[in-house]
Amino acid sequence: MSHLLAEFTTLRLGGPARRVVTAGSTAELVDAVRTADAQGERLLVIGGGSNLVVGDDGWDGVVVLVRNTDVVVRTDSERAQITVDAGVTWDDLVADTVAQEFSGLAAMSGIPGSTGGTPVQNVGAYGIEVADVISEVRVLDRHTGELEDWPAARCAFAFRSSAFKHTDRYVVLTVTLTLPQSPDAPPIRYAELARRLGVEIGEAAPSKDVREAVLALRASKGMVLDEPDPDTWSVGSFFVNPFVEPDLVPEGCPHWATDEGIKLSAAWLIEHAGFGKGFGLDRGDGRVALSTKHTLALTNRGGATTAELLELAANIRDGVERRFGIRLRPEAHLVGVQF
């Protein structure tokens, strides 16, 4: 039976898949991938679908849904080592670690999707990245068919990137995190979050308070999934914050010095290039538009197509480049489309 991939993406976009397989355990995930590869089938592996833009033509091959959900916790007097199956819902994991007073994940509360996607994208929020806490990633190498345990250093983590991001060679099976045992989150690095918590940058705060503040901030920007709210029918930030040389920072643009260069606010660039909250294609149907809460989120307002969403994205990308000479690139994973 044909499935629309829109069923498995937070954008609610994507055409049909020829065959869908659900992998409820790590062994089933490995077997499904090896079987597809042995039979020469086109393979698409989907976890939470929160960072996925699939073309309207769909996927002429097998789709494997990652639904393994085991979590193993080992502790000593100072830290917890948590090995998490790829299919575990990320925010459920964050909530559990906060409840157990394991420190390090609270600032990444509310990020949609599954745990297996976090090292691929090196997800992060409010100054914290999963690269800060990942100690090992177990992967299936599709070229050799073997399982490999990668230490963090091998993963080549960078801003919203990793060794896994631009290749389909590796399938993430489990992620191992090492977290300090403490009721407090790491020192707050992000001014907006510090103001919300009433602390100074560099000060600590209880993880439970950080989680509540982050969830509130993300919800105010439409970045927490909410079934009836089209502002959350997105892939979160469609564009990644760009890096430029110091002399290319536009006047007034928020920016941060990092090891990779000067990072700019893509949301600011978009808005100051003339694309405000709620901006949509000039067609009168309102089926795709920027979120009314945040200019980095491109949303399906209902009944849209992927082609329409990408047309809007291209208009914004090209408009920013005309205005500032800076070309935005997508943070989302694009399948079966050109952009």
Residue 7: CA atoms inside 13 Å, Cβ hemisphere, count?
A: 9
Strand 59-66 versus strand 43-46 pairing type: parallel
Give yes or no: 331 in active site: yes
Q: Provide the token pair at 225.
A: 């999934």
The catalytically annotated residue of 109, 207, 237, 291 is 237
Give yes or no: 146 in active site: no
The catalytically annotated residue of 129, 136, 308, 331 is 331
Whether the CA torsion 161, 106, 175, 156 is positive or negative: it is positive
Give yes or no: 260 in active site: no
Beta-carbon contacts of residue 116 (< 8 Å; ≥ 6 apart): 47, 66, 85, 86, 87, 172, 173, 175
228 exposed, middle or buried (CB, 10 Å; 0-12, 13-18, 19+)? exposed
The catalytically annotated residue of 138, 160, 211, 317 is 160
Q: What pairs with residue 23 in β-bridges?
A: 66
E-only strand ranges, the chain: 3-4, 16-23, 43-46, 52-54, 59-66, 71-75, 79-85, 124-125, 128-129, 134-141, 146-151, 170-180, 243-244, 255-258, 261-264, 288-290, 298-300, 333-335
What are the two backbone dihedrals, phi and then psi, of residue 330, each rounded to the nearest 5 degrees? Answer: -70, 140
Residues noted as catalytic: 160, 237, 331
